[in-house]
Structure 1
Amino acid sequence: MSPISSLPLTRPGQGRGLLDVLDRRFLLKLIVRKELRVRYRGSVLGMAWTYVKPAVQFAVYFFAMGVIMAQRESVPNFAVYLFSGIVVMNFFGEGFLNATRSILWNAPLINKIYLPRELFPVASLWVSAVHFFPQFLVLLAAALVSGWRPTLIELAAGALGFVIVAMLSLGLGLLFGAVNVYFRDAENLVELIVMVATWASPVLYPWILVYDNLPRWLWLVYMSNPLTAAVQLFHYAFWFGSTGRPELLPNGRPPMSPDMWGWAGLALAVSLALVVVGQLVFRRLEGRFAQEL
């Protein structure tokens, strides 16, 4: 008996999910480069759009919330507060939305050869991280100019917030990316989720407004949102230190919500659970991707 004939039979087209992505890191890099080249093909500004879009967002929100709604009077260094939240939401929105579209965008490649389909949502998340980095540099510069001198625990909070958003985007991207192959309405639903998410987290306003105006049960639902915890972790990491770390803000309320670390732990657990659920649904549905596409 030849060595080949003694090998166990395996079902074609079945892999180990996200573990296969780790084994094909070089292929993942190629897909990321391809997406970046396609994204900016024929563009005059190119990667400069990663600065232009957040700058316009910041200007609009700062004028509306900071000036008209006078949030800058009750929140010191409101510019840093606002931009640290915008950075988080841009990373989540781009990663989630592009991961949802990634299977459809790569339909010609999926129909020609077999490769782990999870490569495409992961590559989309990687591209969003590439776009996150320039915005993050601007945030660092603004925080330093404002007097930010971070502690180790504040830096750890920023890293934890990034991990939560990355896992949340990947889990939801796997889930909706697989569903979007069968029901194209999923993409429109994701756009609505991303739009609502900005207002369902303390990006444009302080958390205390929600605490004061919502019933306690709805407050608990609000805090159970992983993005709420991630935004607060970024505020703690890059804004709180630039304010001199006061116990109370000018409005007499604490700068950070109670049990912030407990909510952060819950957010991490929820994000990890969504990665598991997203992977299970993705593997369940990927068998007919080529036929549906």
Structure 2
Amino acid sequence: MSTSTLPAGTFVEPGRGSGLLDVVRQRFLLKLLVRKDLRVRYRGSVLGMLWSYVKPAVQFVVYYFAVGVFLQMNRAVDNFAVYLFAGIVVVNFFGEAFGNATRAIVGNNALVKKIYLPRELFSVSALWVAFIHFIPQLVVLVIGALLTGWSPSLVQLGAGLLGFVILAIFSLGLGLVFGAVNVMFRDAENIVDLLLMVATWASPVLYQWTAVRAVVGDSWVWTVYQLNPLTPIVELFHYCFWAPTNGAQYVGVPNLGTWVGLAALISVLTLVLGEWVFRRLDGRFAQEL
């Protein structure tokens, strides 16, 4: 009877894979996880994917009347509805991607304990589900912008695309960090809920950046405010969707290109940190769950 030997490197120690690169190689598994997440979320639901329209619509109406009508921001900002919704879609995507990625490992504990697969798949699938829900909101935003005379240039469209790429990287990076830590300490979920609660107010979604600059001036508070990646990302969306509408009096943030570059750098560093933390704790997930 003959025996055969396998070449060195055929077997890979669990938890010692290639991280996010394994997600790219196993796109079919990612597709299955995304389908599973969507089915579980809308199981027994009457409206199903229509909730992707209902939730942001209710959120928009509440903010529009509370801030736009009662606080009269619709008089201070031309086409305030487009301005507001351009910021809301950013915060909604960030909140869903970050929040779901934080709960991804714990929520899939049965799979984590039974079989080995790149655990980053769960975090990336949360990002994809958030993207699927982002599309209907983007469609509504585009329709609303078109009704107000939206006529963007290629540069403005590119700014919107750049903003979304930075947003996705930043959301995934934070999701990897808190998703891994959440396995060890469930307090991470509460911390994330607090961060998401202030995210809408920590960036120029309900107000203009000029209101912040008028109060804090060119102080360290302004620097910290701009170093929040969501702030330049929201401004990129305003530049893409609100600035090209009729009557919009767009005033660009001073040195916006610099702040966008710093936001991109912070987002990439966050993703690198997230992958490092995730892989350091990956080997303990099954036993902790």
TM-score (norm 2): 0.96
**For residues 84-128 of structure 1, what are the alpha-carbon distances to aligned partners after superposition, in whole Å with 9 as ceiling and x for unaligned?**
000000000000000000001110001111000000000000000
Within 5 Å, which residues of 2 pair with 1:1-293?
4-8=5-9, 10-215=12-217, 216-244=219-247, 249=249, 255-293=251-289
Q: Secondary structure in 2 aligned to 1:262?
A: helix
SS at match of 1:199: coil
What displacement does 1:261 show?
1.6
Contact 2:78–2:247 (Cα < 8 Å) also in 1: no
Task: Return the offset for 1:243.
Answer: 3.5
**Aligned-pair CA distance for 1:6:** 4.2
**Could you tell me which amino acid in structure 2 is paired with residue 4 of structure 1?**
T
1:242 match: secondary structure:
coil
**Matched residues in 1 for 2:57 and 2:206: separation?**
15
> How far has the Cα of 1:256 moved from its partner?
2.2
Deviation at residue 255 of structure 1 after TM alignment: 2.1
TM-score by length of 1: 0.95
Structure 1 unaligned segments of length 5 or more: list them: none
Over aligned residues, Cα RMSD in angstroms? 1.4
- Alignment length, in residue pairs? 286
Question: 165-174 or 8-17, which moves further after superposition?
Answer: 8-17
2:14–2:116 Cα contact (<8 Å) kept: no
Q: Does structure 1 retain, via aligned residues, the 8 Å contact 2:15–2:282?
A: no
- State the SS of the aligned residue for 2:207: coil
- In 2, Cα distance between equivalents of 1:274 and 1:285: 16
- Structure 2: runs of 5 or more not aligned: none
User: Percent of counterpart pairs with the same letter?
Assistant: 60
